[in-house]
A = this chain, B = another copy of it.
Amino acid sequence: MDIRQIRYFVAVAEERNIGRAAKRLFISQPPLTRQIQQLEDELQVKLFERTAKGVELTSAGQLFLNESRNILSLIEQAQERTQRAGKGQLGRLDVAIFGSGILNTIPDILKRFKTAYPGVNIVLHQMSKAEQIEALRQKRISVGFNRLLAPLPDIDSTMILQDKLMVAVRDDHPLATKSLINLKELDNEPIVVFPKGARPNFVDLVSRVFQEAGVTMNITQTVIDAVTGIALVSGGFGFCLIPSSASVLQLPGVKYIPLGGLPDNATVDLSCIYLKDDHSPLLSAFLAVVHEYKSQLNHHTSFSAARE
């Protein structure tokens, strides 16, 4: 049995006339007659009664007509869905995020992607940097969001943005009135740092900055993520240096003040990582959204810079 034969059968059943059906199918009548005969032979069932005016369906033929329509429609659907899946418009994308990365940029990107590809089911996984890399290699995830990556041979990354540093400070502290804090002003002040976990990470960046500026760093706590660090600031444990994108988080009694007097490379990047040899259309589609987001981000910041 053959899809062609099924198509032919449906045409004949609908036209109730082999010659007319042949015209509709843009073939001549004899091969159509033969295909129908073959179909009947194979099924060992008479599908049509031959009459003087044409043909008419037997009851078995009527049943087979229904089934045939189902089959053709299922095939059509399969083709369409497969093509959509091939364009990355359908399927499932497993994405890893890290603790505080969820604060603003990542939700924006995910929201854009969901709008552009509503057929794709996004599944989020909270994972540390090391876990993300392992999960990528095991193909449990397709993309991970992260900061401060060391290059790896099998993993590519795309930098999304570079956060400058800010200081989280209690609003009853003398420095809280300033619009810019110089690193030197934090000399020997109590500092909460994060995260715990695989190096290199944000702590290393902060340490390097202090070291290069010759400022003493007085670490009082090392906590798991930015949210916890800022909560400790709110609780009076001291200062906390954060990537500026974490400043969307509002906690009672906490103010965020830009940190000045730093070298240009004192930034922390947000990147997304993915397997170098993953050519799936879903990933490509996702990265396209990321790049679009990135370029709009640049335009926007240059605009606001021009206005200021």
Contacts and interface: CB of A to CB of B under 8 A. Distances in A.
A175 interface: no
B1 A60 contact: no
A67 interface: yes
A44 B2 contact: no
Interface string A60-79: 10011001101100110111
Interface in A6-63: 43-47, 49, 58-60, 63
Contact of A74 (B58, B67, B81): B67
A2 B81 CA distance: 17
A99 interface: no
A83 interface: yes
Contacts of A91: 59-60, 63
A59 B78 CA distance: 14
A90 B77 CA distance: 28
A282 interface: yes
Contacts of A60: 82-83, 85-86, 91, 281
Given A67-B77, A78-B64, A83 B3 contact: no
Contacts of A90: 63
B86 A45 contact: yes
A40 to B, nearest CB: 9
A299 interface: no
A68 B75 CA distance: 8
Interface string A109-128: 00000000000000000000
B64 A82 contact: yes
A281 B59 CA distance: 9
A280 interface: yes
A4 interface: yes
Nearest to A279: B49
A4 B78 CA distance: 15
A45 B75 contact: no
Contacts of A85: 45, 59-60, 63-64
A79 B44 CA distance: 10
Given A43-B86, A45-B85, A70-B78, 20 more contacts: A2-B2, A2-B3, A43-B82, A45-B86, A46-B86, A58-B280, A59-B85, A59-B282, A60-B83, A60-B91, A60-B281, A63-B85, A64-B78, A64-B85, A67-B74, A67-B82, A71-B71, A71-B74, A71-B75, A74-B74
Interface of A: 1-4, 43-47, 49, 58-60, 63-64, 67-68, 70-71, 74-75, 77-79, 81-83, 85-86, 90-92, 279-282
A-B CB proximity, top 10 nearest? A45-B86, A67-B78, A60-B85, A64-B82, A60-B86, A63-B85, A59-B91, A60-B82, A3-B3, A71-B74
14 contacts: A1-B79, A2-B3, A43-B79, A43-B82, A58-B86, A58-B280, A59-B91, A59-B280, A60-B91, A64-B85, A67-B74, A67-B78, A67-B81, A67-B82
